[in-house]
């Protein structure tokens, strides 16, 4: 069955950058629509970015637009989230999720598989 594994989280100062990776196994990434989500302590999970199977369509939350970039490398079965100019409010556990039946969705409830999450902490 499909498995997702996030990596690349860590501790960074405000204004710094991190690049998260999500590796898919069991099914090729080329078959999957992908979303990135995050959850801060005590808060609900929120959508960050999403991309279509082809990568031609992307979307970003207003809070990260212009700072974050989602991309995919199907040959390596890996989706990336490049996060620039990180701020304390970006702190949280970041999850990638995959949808196997639609070419594109940003709806959290429609995703079929989830990774375990990777911690991102932005603090001085």
> What does the pLDDT look like over 59-93, one tens digit per residue?
999 999 999 999 999 999 999 999 999 999 999 99
Q: State residue 57's pLDDT score.
A: 96
Q: State residue 81's pLDDT score.
A: 98
> What does the pLDDT look like over 90-122, one tens digit per residue?
999 999 999 999 999 999 999 999 999 999 999
Residues contacting residue 109 through CB under 8 Å, at least 6 positions apart = none
Of 41, 18, 43, 22, the residue nearest 111 (C-alpha): 22
DSSP assigned state of 124: -
Average pLDDT over residues 48-62: 96
In DSSP notation, 67-102 reads: TEEEEEEGGGTEEEEEE-S--GGG-EEEEEEEESS-
> What does the pLDDT look like over 15-26, one tens digit per residue?
999 999 999 999
Q: How far apart are CA 89 and CA 16, in angstroms?
A: 13
Q: How far apart are CA 109 and CA 55, in angstroms?
A: 21
Q: State residue 106's pLDDT score.
A: 94
DSSP assigned state of 113: E
Q: State residue 10's pLDDT score.
A: 98
Q: State residue 88's pLDDT score.
A: 97
Q: State residue 96's pLDDT score.
A: 98
């Amino acid at each position: 069955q499909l498995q997702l594994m996030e990596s690349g989280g860590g501790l960074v100062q405000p204004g710094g950058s991190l690049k998260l990776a999500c590796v898919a196994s069991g099914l090729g990434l080329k078959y999957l629509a992908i979303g990135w989500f995050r959850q801060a302590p005590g808060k609900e999970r929120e959508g960050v970015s999403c991309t279509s199977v082809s990568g031609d369509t992307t979307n970003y939350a207003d809070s990260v637009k212009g700072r974050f970039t989602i991309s995919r490398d199907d040959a390596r079965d890996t989706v990336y989230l490049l996060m620039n100019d990180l701020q304390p409010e970006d702190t949280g556990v970041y999850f990638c999720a995959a949808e196997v039946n639609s070419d594109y969705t940003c709806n959290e409830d429609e995703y079929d598989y989830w990774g375990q999450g990777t911690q991102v902490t932005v603090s001085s």
